[in-house]
């Protein structure tokens, strides 16, 4: 990104920090999110932007009514985990849980408002690895119309059921990442987001959503013990230079 683009993005970030509008109108921050997605961002700005997106999503979630609230039960690394599952009327989803004494919160806004159609399209077009369609119960999740799009009259309850299943898949993906990358969950999530930008399938969509949750919450695999690495003075024989007298 050149200096002009960097200044533009910094001004957008500063403007959003002063913006308290969390109405149901199209979110100005989401516009910046797409700007951010298409242009490389320096690490210093990237860190600031991640914090801004997270705080904005929290404000969105806190300012809207609850459509569904329940406790879901999953397993992470073989340990049972109770997750507080809340869907707001914008479809922003809050997930709060404890694992090994650490409290974490995932706030998912990818499928909020206009993002709903994207989730529904991918959800209803999911296929197995062998190409066979995944069966979705129409009474629970709705169905596709003749043109292959989700039914316009999908009920709120059916939409929440889709989100509930997507959350189940997010936690399955999280468990898979924690199992495969036990010492570098956060590092893997950052790497995945930077190197796998496509989400044209439901599997890719869930993987990216999971990695976004990990990065935004700075989620770390609990119980990992690191080997201490500290600077050690080299032996005298290894010193290759000597003071000049």
The model's pLDDT over 100-114, given as tens digits with 9 standing for 90+, comes to: 888 999 999 999 988
Closest CA to 87 of 102, 68, 100, 73: 68
Mean pLDDT of 214-238: 78
Closest by alpha carbon to 150, among 181, 130, 126, 172? 126
User: How many Cα atoms occupy the beta-carbon half-sphere of 133 within 13 Å?
Assistant: 8
Of residues 1 and 137, the one with the higher pLDDT is 137
Tens of pLDDT, residue by residue over 177-188, are 999 998 889 999
Predicted confidence band of residue 164 (pLDDT cuts 50, 70, 90): very high
Give the pLDDT band of residue 191 (cuts 50, 70, 90). Answer: very high
Q: Does the pLDDT of residue 54 top 70, yes or no?
A: no
Compare 41 and 171 and report the one with higher pLDDT.
171
Predicted local confidence at residue 105, as pLDDT: 95
pLDDT in the model for residue 223: 62
What pLDDT, on a 0 to 100 scale, did the predictor assign at position 236? Answer: 72
Tokens of 26: 């199209």
Please name which of 78, 76, 95 lies closest in space to residue 87, comparing C-alpha atoms. 95
Q: What's the pLDDT at 67?
A: 95
pLDDT given for residue 104 in this prediction? 93
If pLDDT is split at 50, 70 and 90, which confidence band does 71 have? very high
> pLDDT value at position 139?
92
Distance (Å) of CA 168 to CA 62, 101, 159, 174, 217: 23, 22, 14, 10, 18
């Amino acid at each position: 990104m050149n200096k002009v683009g960097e200044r533009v993005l910094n001004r957008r970030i500063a403007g959003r920090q002063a913006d308290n509008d969390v109405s149901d109108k199209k979110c100005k921050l989401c516009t910046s999110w797409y700007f951010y997605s298409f242009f490389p961002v320096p690490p210093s700005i990237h860190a600031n932007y991640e914090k801004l997106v997270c705080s904005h999503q929290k404000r969105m979630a806190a300012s809207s009514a609850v459509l569904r609230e329940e406790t879901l039960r999953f397993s992470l690394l073989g340990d049972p985990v109770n997750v507080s599952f809340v869907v707001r009327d914008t479809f922003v989803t809050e997930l709060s849980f404890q694992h090994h004494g650490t409290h974490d919160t995932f706030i998912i806004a990818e499928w909020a408002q206009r993002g709903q159609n994207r989730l529904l399209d991918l959800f209803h077009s999911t296929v197995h690895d062998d190409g066979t369609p995944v069966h979705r119960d129409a009474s629970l999740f709705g169905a596709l119309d003749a043109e292959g799009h989700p039914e316009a009259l999908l009920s709120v309850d059916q939409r929440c059921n889709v989100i509930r299943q997507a959350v189940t898949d997010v936690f399955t993906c999280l468990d898979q990442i924690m199992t495969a990358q036990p010492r570098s969950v956060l590092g893997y999530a950052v790497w995945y987001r930077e190197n796998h930008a496509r989400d044209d399938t439901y599997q890719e969509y869930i993987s990216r959503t999971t990695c976004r949750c990990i990065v935004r919450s700075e989620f770390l695999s609990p119980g990992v013990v690191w080997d201490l690495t500290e600077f050690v003075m080299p032996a005298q024989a290894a010193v290759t230079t000597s003071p000049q007298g």
